[in-house]
């Protein structure tokens, strides 16, 4: 199951300020007709608004039916920008739609007076109107009139035809990118008290996993198609929601574990869902992450070697050229600019760290070169934090450590630590993540004795304590010292003797710092005590 000794995921939640390309994807599914825009009320629009303001449901139903094609006309000719008049009319239309009437349509049930087709038409009309407004309005995900429809949309999700279900999923995916929307989506519950009903959050996440699983295998052949950007954005958002769900799940289970350990003072935090459903989700997420690893492998090989599945040793560049050989049908921006790549890495890294699945970690060790190449690629998106999170999980198994060393991971991370992190205090948290990975590698049984080429870390540790101006901002320096001590403990006697003077000086300054940190955080003091004790234990 999930490990409960976790750090707060860096990428487990979505910022509310993010843009929502899903709305652009939704707009692509509108009708292709090209009538005039609705930047001025037309007769059809005026008639629809008049009927919507009526008191009887029959008139309102006719008004919605008239409004739907008008909205689809606007969708079909939107070019990415809107005139002020158009936005005003759209807002007027939305405010004219009675949400209670939409709710009644969504609640329509199959009964003797209504056929299945009639019920589907009523629910489909309500969903289509919401979907259209969601697409053409500015920031609809912040509108309470949309968020308030989430429980009913979730309740009809399983009983609607595929086209309507797809529209519902796109609405929910857009709403879930805000805090209020995600709380509504994941907090939705059945009013039916039957014990066999599955939580809506389980259904929602399962549908997203199905979407990813059915789409990923065919993405490679669509790279150069006009539809790829829309597909990539849709699947990227699905991965982002899965990341948020994993973070929510980890924190929920951690809170439950804390309640068990401290009986009587628990928070009463509810279990996220029944245990059997958690086990099913665990298996489904692991399956999707396995497909994600395969896709990253093929995507990276295609963008760097011109062929998917080509071993790194078989890649040949042109003479005197350092440029990769991408496939002819790759996207113009390549793997490093594809938003899907970052979203995949975020979700995969969280799962590799939290889920104790050695088989999946072994699969991930097979793309160690991909992880390290993306870590070094800072030309576009920043992959460094999710890569470090992935390495933390992979380094738990011997195959992962061997792959890390084989692909020169030590040299890559230590070079980044010395050149880009130590001089910049704001980068120190990433440095601590690097030390966490390197410590796991050093302590692994498969690593063996410390190597001579790793010993420059001892000098870096000495410099970090010698030049410490005060007792603030010491976390990274202490972490490097802990790594240096671990290296010296595991180094052969000859290597120790060659580093004798640096170790003696490191010990002297570490003891001096320890005497000054009475008011410092407990973690820094404990770390310095470990460093001093470790250095004292060395026989030089």
CB-neighbour burial class of residue 335 (10 A; exposed 0-12, middle 13-18, buried 19+): buried
**Where do the domains of the chain lie?**
19-164, 177-260+272-312+327-384
CB 175 within 8 A of CB 150: yes
Q: Write the CB contacts of 501 (distance below 8 Å, at least 6 apart in sequence).
A: none
pLDDT value for 469: 61
pLDDT value for 45: 76
pLDDT value for 412: 96
Rounded to 5°, angle at Cα 140 from 136 and 146: 115
| H or E, element range at 399 | helix 398-406
CB 507 within 8 A of CB 535: yes
Q: Residues 352, 356, 361, 363: what is their CA dihedral angle, to the nearest 10 degrees?
A: -110
| DSSP letters spanning 13-74 | S--TT---THHHHHHTTS-------SSS--HHHHHHHHHHTSSSHHHHHHHHHHHHHHHHHH
CB atoms within 10 A of CB 420: 14
CB atoms within 10 A of CB 429: 13
pTM for the complete prediction? 0.64
pLDDT value for 236: 94
pLDDT value for 37: 44
Helices in 262-323 by DSSP H: which ranges?
275-305
Pick from 477, 479, 474: nearest CA to 521: 474
pLDDT value for 22: 45
CB 308 within 8 A of CB 326: no
**Averaged pLDDT in 10-residue chunks for the chain of 540 residues:** 40 41 47 42 75 80 78 58 64 83 83 76 88 79 82 85 86 81 71 59 90 90 86 93 90 69 48 80 94 94 64 50 48 78 96 94 96 90 95 96 96 92 88 96 94 93 78 83 94 90 89 76 81 83
């Amino acid at each position: 199951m999930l490990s409960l000794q976790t750090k707060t995921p860096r990428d487990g939640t979505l910022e509310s300020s993010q843009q929502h390309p899903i709305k652009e994807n939704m707009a692509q599914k509108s009708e292709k007709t090209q009538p005039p825009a609705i930047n001025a009320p037309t007769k059809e629009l005026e008639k629809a608004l008049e009927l919507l303001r009526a008191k009887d449901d029959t008139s309102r139903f006719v008004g919605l039916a008239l409004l739907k094609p008008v909205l689809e006309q606007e969708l079909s000719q939107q070019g990415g920008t809107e005139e002020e008049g158009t936005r005003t009319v759209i807002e007027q239309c939305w405010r004219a739609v009675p949400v209670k009437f939409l709710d009644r349509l969504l609640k329509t049930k199959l009964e003797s007076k209504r056929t299945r087709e009639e019920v589907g038409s009523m629910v489909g009309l309500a969903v289509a109107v919401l979907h259209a407004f969601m697409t053409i309005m500015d920031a609809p995900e912040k509108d309470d009139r949309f968020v308030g429809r989430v429980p009913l949309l979730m309740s009809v999700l399983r009983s609607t035809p595929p086209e309507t279900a797809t529209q519902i999923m796109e609405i929910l995916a857009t709403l879930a990118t805000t805090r209020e929307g995600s709380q509504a989506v994941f907090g939705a519950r059945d009013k039916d008290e039957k014990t066999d009903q599955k939580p809506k959050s389980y259904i929602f996440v399962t549908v997203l996993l199905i979407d990813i699983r059915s789409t990923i295998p065919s993405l490679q052949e669509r790279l150069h198609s006009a539809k790829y950007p829309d597909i990539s954005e849709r699947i990227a958002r699905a991965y982002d929601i899965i990341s948020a769900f994993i973070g929510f799940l980890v924190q929920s289970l951690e809170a439950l574990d804390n309640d068990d350990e401290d009986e009587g003072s628990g928070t009463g935090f509810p279990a996220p869902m029944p245990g059997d459903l958690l086990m099913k989700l665990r298996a489904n997420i692991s399956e999707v992450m396995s497909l994600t690893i395969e896709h990253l492998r093929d995507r990276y090989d295609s963008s760097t070697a011109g062929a998917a599945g080509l071993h790194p040793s078989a890649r040949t560049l042109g003479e005197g050229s350092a440029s990769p050989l991408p496939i002819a049908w790759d996207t113009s921006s390549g793997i490093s600019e594809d938003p899907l790549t970052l979203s995949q890495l975020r979700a995969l890294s969280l799962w590799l760290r939290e889920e104790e699945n050695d088989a999946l970690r072994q699969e991930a060790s097979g793309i160690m070169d991909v992880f390290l190449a993306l870590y070094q690629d800072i030309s576009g998106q920043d992959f460094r934090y999710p890569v470090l999170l992935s390495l933390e999980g992979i380094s738990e198994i011997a195959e992962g450590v061997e792959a890390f060393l084989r692909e020169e991971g030590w040299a890559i991370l230590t070079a980044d630590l010395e050149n880009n992190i130590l001089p910049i205090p704001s980068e120190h948290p990433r440095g601590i993540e690097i030390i966490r990975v390197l410590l796991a590698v050093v302590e692994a049984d498969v690593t063996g004795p410390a190597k001579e080429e790793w010993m420059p870390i001892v000098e870096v540790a000495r410099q970090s304590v010698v030049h410490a101006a005060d007792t603030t901002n010491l976390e990274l320096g202490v972490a490097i010292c802990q790594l240096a001590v671990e290296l010296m403990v595991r180094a052969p006697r000859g290597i120790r003797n060659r580093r004798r003077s640096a170790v003696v000086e490191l010990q002297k300054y570490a003891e001096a710092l320890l005497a000054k940190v009475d008011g410092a955080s407990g973690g820094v003091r404990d770390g310095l005590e470990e460093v001093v004790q470790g250095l004292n234990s060395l026989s030089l």
